[in-house]
Structure 1
């Protein structure tokens, strides 16, 4: 497992019943800055804290600017999934500008975001998580790494994993080209704007996207998915580890009709074992344990404020704690696939699972999250195949809309990592308030005002740590969320 050694690395075996703290700082092979501290007793995690140590402040940067700047600037929040921030931002602006997309504009946006989804999922497994299970050669980027005795793949399968790691770099490049064909460039697409997209899809561009896409689809079906299920077979205990709260949330993504009432991956909530319709009014952000002003706790994003208070007593993160109906909810591929419960790939069906919920409790686990992500990549690829037959060469993808003097908009989508919300309020034709509830904020949040752990913190409880010097399973669990 490539990454930094934990700051506290006891040299001797820990006495039974004794608690020790192990800090992994930073958690490597993730996108962004994260420290995780776990308390270990009798070889298992008994408590956990996620520390988000970076204040970004994009909400404050946007105040007073032209609203159309938002979709460009907020993409800089993340270099891995900028198209998701672009999508949430333009959806908020569409709402505030009261503009309705053309059919071609809707499909073009889906193709841009869809290509980035495939790139992101392939990136996550191969280049961020696979080295938790696959042993590479003793050269960078495969080293430095923890001493990991728990590598169970036979030499032949392990070599397949290493070969796919390298091939995935090329597949990701192809996905970036697909995004750039319709979005202008990647990362940070220029062509996704309020009212649609700026690039008219010509026949040449559609064909160029298609032949690139075929290579990506073949990789997902013939290499990515089979390897994931081989891992699940080799590590059955990791299908029982890291369950967390087992509450999930999805805003819905990839609209299938122009009214945007139907989605490829549906909006919905699963709380305490029951399904519910999504009600955005029930989303609130808490900051008791975050370095933000306590006066702004428990607010819906439309009333939200971003007032940092570094050094606040009792706080330990620059991540806020979003909650749905006052309860923690996991976001991401597992959440979307659980809510939608679609038919799975032929690889899954061969293994005896027809739909996502057929996995039952195993879905809420370290490897269950990897299975969900790979299956979602398969589902998005099948949808892209259909959208390529629906998009019309030369048809308009953009509807011009003047900047309103006043307006308010809510933009919901799903980043590859989870539920993403952008909110904008316009006054005197400039941004008066802008709020972002990013995907990883759901999962890597600290405790809330009620004392409830965030989803990653909760999922870490019970994770085995036989060797505190090499907390392999802690890293596996964190990366399964793709923070």
Structure 2
């Protein structure tokens, strides 16, 4: 047996270590190790509850919008205004979040995952006239001539081998990598029209938003959105299909736990205090690969297990009742991540979960898109539970969200309210359930003496990259890695492809600060 340690996994948000025990070319055991603790749940205590919207956005610079909106939903419930949000407030929250979805999905595929499949050195032979690609060609040619691949950051370092895309396709993909940088910037601009800035919105608040629609803002929003929709339809989706056509074996690699969970996202009704039943574009529910049947979602069945996490306290607690107390000396612990469970079972969250839940729920738009993709590859629904299934789901979702935003922006009513009035209660409890681009996101709050007495976040990557639970059941990413065939232990590209298909965000998932500047860890970078 041989242990492969990848520390840290690069091209993700935050710090994640993977340990895989390989025997006979197959992964027999795997660990996901979150290597940083940040303590947001601790320093939120005794704050003004309204601060939650702004502080929690600092958990992550990629998906701050999701944390801000989830915190606002949390406060809506605690302040008793969940059924009083004006339609403009609901729609503007959706538009701000939708822009973040577009930015996140584009950056994930092109700037985080695509380099696992695209050999950028193919651009050294480029003979076209694209000015941006010629710049990349010059950049790469100089590095190759010097024999110094370290000059090629961010394209290097990388694992070697298994680059299959035809040269022309690979060259086009590199050009799209550059173009996608501009698209991500444009998506941030799109969000900032109504969020005030990106990252870290100042417009999303308890009760709705603080920005007001105008003719000029609607016109600017539509112009930028249509440019992004053109990129999604004509570049992003075709590139995902091209990768899938070249790497079809990855429809059977990285299956995972086979259980999917969605909290639902993008509110379609202004009222409704029950977030488990509120009408949303992507609906709430759970689905398992074993039966592909939609099951009702009950948030009271969410718990977090800390058997193998570096934490003290009771295990299998409902989030609102948890106390976050770190314990790095814990003998059996191996991660700063807790292990969220639903009905004591691990669940994968993210675009795949949202798309499959809506597919099984009978959403006609999702069903047509998914069926068309499956027919193109001659595959059945089981192929969705895979590395490529996650990429396909993310791209299709990006199109659905962008197209729906066209409808939403035209539903805005100039001059109508955007926020409900409220008072901060002396004592209250709240829950916010939403979906970040990476998956199910929940915030819970207890208020005492008008201040936060407890605040807990259960985030997408905590679900996906969780360690084992007290029953010895592995987390979703760990399960996806176990059983994987590794061709070359020195270049385990199979493993990083699987991990990156989940789009981990450890900045969200692990909340160690060393104020004295002491060295905490040394990392071997691949």
Count of residues in Structure 1 that have an aligned counterpart in Structure 2 = 463
- TM-score, structure 2 length as denominator? 0.86
Q: What is residue 311 of structure 2 aligned with on the other side? A: 292
> Structure 2 vs 1, CA of residues 245 and 311 (structure 1 numbering), >3 Å: closer, same or farther?
same
Among 327, 340, 343, the alignment partner of 1:309 is 327
Among 59, 71, 75, the alignment partner of 2:41 is 59
Once the two structures are superposed, the pairs formed by residues 268-347 of structure 1 within 5 Å of their partners are 268-271=285-288, 272-273=290-291, 274-293=293-312, 295-341=313-359, 342=363, 343-344=365-366
- Measured in 2, the distance between the counterparts of 1:140 and 1:190 equals 37
Among 478, 484, 494, the alignment partner of 1:473 is 494
Unaligned residue ranges in structure 2 (runs of 5+):
122-139, 141-150, 273-277, 505-526
* Cα pair 2:27 2:481 within 8 Å, conserved: yes
Residue-by-residue CA offset, 1:148-185 (whole Å, 9 max, x unaligned): 22111101111111011000000000100111110110
- Measured in 1, the distance between the counterparts of 2:373 and 2:352 equals 18
* Cα pair 1:338 1:357 within 8 Å, conserved: no
Among 150, 174, 179, the alignment partner of 1:167 is 179
> Structure 2 vs 1, CA of residues 352 and 30 (structure 1 numbering), >3 Å: closer, same or farther?
closer
Q: What is residue 228 of structure 1 aligned with on the other side? A: 240
Q: How far apart are residue 349 of structure 1 and its match?
A: 5.9
Give the secondary structure class of the aligned counterpart of 2:174: helix
Matched, 1:124 2:142: no
Once the two structures are superposed, the pairs formed by residues 14-413 of structure 1 within 5 Å of their partners are 19-99=1-81, 100-137=84-121, 138=140, 139-260=151-272, 261-271=278-288, 272-273=290-291, 274-293=293-312, 295-341=313-359, 342=363, 343-344=365-366, 351=373, 353=375, 359-413=380-434
Give the secondary structure class of the aligned counterpart of 1:276: coil
> Structure 2 vs 1, CA of residues 35 and 74 (structure 1 numbering), >3 Å: closer, same or farther?
same
- TM-score, structure 1 length as denominator? 0.93
- Measured in 1, the distance between the counterparts of 2:222 and 2:248 equals 37
Residue-by-residue CA offset, 1:60-79 (whole Å, 9 max, x unaligned): 11110100000000001111
> Structure 2 vs 1, CA of residues 214 and 141 (structure 1 numbering), >3 Å: closer, same or farther?
farther
* Cα pair 2:85 2:271 within 8 Å, conserved: no
- Supply the RMSD in Å over aligned alpha carbons: 1.7
* Cα pair 2:358 2:366 within 8 Å, conserved: no
* Cα pair 1:345 1:375 within 8 Å, conserved: no
- Measured in 2, the distance between the counterparts of 1:345 and 1:170 equals 31
Q: How far apart are residue 416 of structure 1 and its match?
A: 0.4
Residue-by-residue CA offset, 1:412-449 (whole Å, 9 max, x unaligned): 00000010000011111000110000111000100011
Give the secondary structure class of the aligned counterpart of 1:296: coil
Residue-by-residue CA offset, 1:40-80 (whole Å, 9 max, x unaligned): 11112111000001111111111101000000000011110
- Measured in 1, the distance between the counterparts of 2:298 and 2:159 equals 46
Give the secondary structure class of the aligned counterpart of 1:395: coil
Q: How far apart are residue 304 of structure 1 and its match?
A: 1.1
Residue-by-residue CA offset, 1:180-217 (whole Å, 9 max, x unaligned): 11011000101100011011111111111110001110
Residue-by-residue CA offset, 1:337-357 (whole Å, 9 max, x unaligned): 010114349876655549x99
- Measured in 2, the distance between the counterparts of 1:353 and 1:427 equals 55
Give the secondary structure class of the aligned counterpart of 2:157: coil
* Cα pair 2:355 2:366 within 8 Å, conserved: no
